[in-house]
Structures are given as C-alpha cells and as structure tokens.
Amino acid sequence: MGLTGLEIYKQLPKKNCGECGTPTCLAFAMALAAGKGALETCPYVTDEARENLASASAPPIKAIKFGNESVLGDETVLFRHDKTFYHPTTLLIKVSDKLTDSEIEAKVQEIEGLEFDRVGLHYSIDGIAVVNESSDQDRFSQVVEKVASATSRSLMVLSENPDALKAAVPGIASRKPLIGPATFENYEAVVNFAKEQKVPVILKADGLDALNELVESAQKLGYKEFVLDPGSRSTSQTLANLTHLRRLAIKKKYRPFGYPVIAFTGKNEPLDEIAEASVYVAKYASAIVLKTSIKAHILPLMALRQNLYTDPQKPIQVEPTLHVIGDVNENSPVYVTTNFSLTYYSVEGEVESSKIPSYILPIDTDGTSVLTAYAAGKFEPEKIADALAASGVAEKVNHRNLIIPGAVAVISGKLQEKSSWKVVVGPRESSGIISFVRTMQG
C-alpha cells in the first residue's frame, strides 16, 4: 500500500506557500497520496524527503509504454471501487506469419476497421501481434514489415527464436514494438537484444515459481522493461495467475512481479474466446492477444473494457434523459428534477404511487440534489429549457405544463420565459406529489 496523506505530509516543508498549485501542504500531500500530483511541483521539498518519498511512493506496478501510446501496468488496486483502474487493457489481434499475403491483407484490413462510436464514445483496437508460427525467419520478417506498413497501431512481435526477432525488429524499432517472449532457453539473447533496441520485452515461464526465477535472472542483465506471461492458456489457470500476480505486486509489494501481465486466449470458438477475454479484462490483464477480429465479437469486449475502466469516483446519477413512468399518453404530466439518484428515485417512487402515468425529466446536475444544484448554479432556467427542448417531450404530450420542485419556485418566471412552457410549482417535498397531482387533475 502507498503512503497516506498524513505520512507524506510529515516529509513536506509545511510552508503552505501555495506555489505547487494547492492551497496547503496537506492538500498537496493528499493529492500525492491519491496519485494526482507530482513531487516536483514543490520547490521547497528537501533532497532527503524527495528520496524518502520517491522510493516509498514508487508505483507497485511499473508502467510499460510501447507502440502507439499503449500503456501497460501502473495500477494500484485490486478492486476498481477502491480507487479506479487507470490504463484500459490493451487489446491486440494476432496475425500469424503462416497466412498468405492476401489473407494477411484481409486480416489487417478487418483489424483496421475495428473502430466504433457508441453512446458518444469512440472505441478502437490498440494493435496487432505478429506471431512467428511458420518457423521461417525470412517469412516472419516479411510479414512484420507488411503488417507494420499497413497499420499505425501498436505492434507486438512474437517469436521464440532470437534470430527471428533480431531480423524482424530493427526495421520497426522506432515504433517501439513489444517483443518476446524471453524464456529460460533464450532470455539472455532476447533481453539483451530488447535492451539494445530499447523496446519492452515479454518474459514467459510456466507458472509463478518459474516466472519469478526468470524475472530475477533477467533483471540481472540490467534491464527492467518487462511484461509478464505466466504461460497458462486455460481460463481458470490464467485467472488464478493474474490474481496472484496482482495481489503480490500490490499487497506485498513483491518487486519481481511489479510488472504488467499479458494474457493470450486459448479458446478457438470466437464466442468462447470473447467470454474468456472478458475475464481477463476484468481481472488485471494489461494486454490481451485475441484471435478473432470480427466486429461483432470485439464490440462487446470493448464496451466491457470501457465500463470497467470508468472512474467510479463519480456521484451516483441516473441518465439525464426523459424517463417514462407507466402507460403514458398525451395528457401525462411532466415533472422536472435532477439526475442525483436519491432525488430522482424519491420523485419516481411518489409518481409511481400516484398511479398517474407521467414523464420525469432529470436534468444533468452532475448528480447533485435540487437545492445543491440550484446553489451551485447547475439548475438554471436556461439549462432546464434546453434539456426540455432536447428531450422531445413536446411531441409526446399535447399540453405545455411543466411541474418543477417547490424548493426552486424562484426560477419559475424565468423558466417560463425561456421554455415557453407553463411552469407549475409543485410541492416542496416529493411526498406531496400524490395529493398535488390529484388536486391538479381534479
């Protein structure tokens, strides 16, 4: 575990000068503890403190960068709700050098097409792993070159034959591919080559004991740009390995395992393969090499990755879109509230028990309650009028009555002006909705 804010604070100069951009030293220490600040921004920290803090706050898992802005590792938690997962799993598609030129072209073309736009977000595949399965060194180099020229995505170059790597990699070294695997048989050659080419390298051994030994041997070569592969290819064993590696790195600060981990899928049936890959995305794989490159297979995996790597440190909110309660018709009342879940569900509960089918429009107030949002200027008439227009509710009802929370009666005039709806001030408390709406309808 990292240092707490108070532990870091003890080492700081306590001048509260504000030059680091935070108003107090303690605030700066808390930002450092949360991994949101850099010690360098403090101009007064002593060399001694810098040394103490740098070693103590060194990340438990090293960040390994390769290819086109792919970042592996640099994670700090086992469960995303404890803080967040930072670097989304890098997804690569395998291309074998056993394929013919036209097959390779088709495959790369398909991979290049793996770009999606969904719910306002853009997903894309990260890279291609070229695998030397032909046992033909020249063919491997050709394929690497061919793939490299057809894509600008991150590249992984895999061969257990050091000579094959030595032939294929130098031509694309400037694109910083991830290479490997280094095994007990070849590690001196492969790691030294990676060091020379300044590219990261995969260390592969069967099981954690063997991997531990391999890492320690490889570290003696004076290089530390490693990605670990515990060798397993079955889902259950890989899951176990991924979990152990992450736990040991974070909970025990076990340095030999303080590197990102790569997983290779074992299933051949694409749907099984995606289910398998989903496990690895959820369970700490920093990179996954997939076989399938069909859009319909990849999209759900990317959506899952997006969900899991979303920062959970956000207020609890509902979707700020028009919500339909019951069997609505053109006379149904329209309520407006905020997207704070506690607020929204209090309103929804009462509207449901009123037994009158209704529309509720929660305004996006960053998940704050009605009065909190009003206080912070996030529940302004202009914003509500815009959301109302965008919701399309005007086409769904034939009246123009908008019910607003009683606590913000003060905005009714301006809202009426901006929206040209008749603004009806509802009760202050949602518990008053039932009697309010009956009186209104009666």
Strand, helix or coil for residue 303: helix
The span from the CA of 89 to the CA of 71, in Å, is 9
* Site residues (CB under 8 A) for other proteins, limited to 403-422: 410
Q: Is 227 annotated as a binding residue?
A: no
Minimum distance of other proteins from residue 405's CB (angstroms): 14
Candidates 13, 207, 315, 392; binder of other proteins (CB under 8 A) is: 315
Backbone φ, ψ for residue 204 (5° rounding): -120, 125
By CB under 8 A, residue 58 contacts other proteins: no
324: annotated binding-site residue? no
Q: How far apart are CA 405 and CA 416, in angstroms?
A: 14
Smallest CA-to-CA distance from 325 within 351, 344, 350 is with 351
Known binding residue 84? Answer is no
* 370 assigned ligand-binding residue: yes
| Residue 210 near residue 239, CB atoms below 8 Å | no
Q: Tell me which amino acid residue 361 is.
A: L
Residue 5 assigned as binding residue: no
Q: Annotation-wise, does 46 bind a ligand?
A: no
Tell me 317's DSSP state: B
Q: Is 392 left (phi over 0), alpha (psi -120 to 50) or beta?
A: left
Q: Which is nearer to other proteins, 26 or 167 (CB)?
A: 26
Among 51, 272, 319, 429, binds other proteins (CB under 8 A): 429
Q: Does position 113 bind other proteins by CB under 8 A?
A: no
Applying CB under 8 A, does 9 fall inside the site for other proteins?
A: yes
In the complex, the smallest distance separating the C-beta of residue 391 from other proteins, rounded to whole angstroms, is 24
* Residue 51 C-beta: closest distance to other proteins, Å: 22
Q: Toward other proteins, which CB reaches closer, 271 or 316?
A: 316
Cα–Cα distance, 341 to 368 (Å, whole number): 9
Under rule CB under 8 A, residue 49 binds other proteins? no
DSSP character string of 138-157: HHHHHHHHHHHHH--SEEEE
Stretch touching other proteins by CB under 8 A, among 122-130, 164-172, 245-253, 426-434: 426-434
DSSP per residue over 98-118, as a string? TS-HHHHHHHHHHHHT-EEEE
Instruction: Give whichever of 271 and 375 is closer to other proteins, judged by the CB atom.
Output: 375
Which one of 8, 30, 72, 108 is in contact with other proteins (CB under 8 A)? 30
CA separation, residue 372 to residues 128, 182, 315, 322, 380 (Å): 48, 57, 13, 21, 12
Q: Which of 54, 121, 296, 342 binds other proteins (CB under 8 A)?
A: 342
Residues contacting residue 170 through CB under 8 Å, at least 6 positions apart: 197
Tell me which residue has tokens 């008749």. Answer: 422
Per CB under 8 A, does 377 bind other proteins? Answer: yes
CA–CA distance, 436 with 420 (Å, rounded to integer) = 23
Q: Give the one residue of 312, 329, 390, 392 binding other proteins; rule: CB under 8 A.
A: 312
**Location of structure tokens 């036209």:** 102
372 is an interface residue for other proteins by CB under 8 A: yes
Number of chain positions touching other proteins (CB under 8 A): 29
Residue 4 assigned as binding residue: no
Cα distance between residue 403 and residue 421, in whole Å: 10
245: closest CA among 223, 260, 231? 260
Is 367 annotated in a binding site? The answer is yes
Question: Could you say which of 56, 316, 390, 440 contacts other proteins (CB under 8 A)?
Answer: 316
Spell out where 223-317 has E strands: 226-229, 262-264, 287-290
Q: Which is nearer to other proteins, 295 or 314 (CB)?
A: 314
Least Å distance between CB 153 and other proteins? 34
The reply to whether 82 sits near other proteins by the rule CB under 8 A is no
In whole angstroms, the minimum distance from the beta carbon of 73 to other proteins comes to 24
Comparing C-alpha atoms, which of 283, 384, 332, 325 is closest to residue 78?
283
Footprint of other proteins on 349-368 (CB under 8 A): 368
Give residues in contact with other proteins (CB under 8 A).
4-6, 9-10, 16, 23-24, 26-27, 30, 312-316, 342, 368, 372, 374-378, 410, 429, 431-432, 435
* Positions at the binding site: 17, 20, 25, 42, 337, 343, 367-370, 430
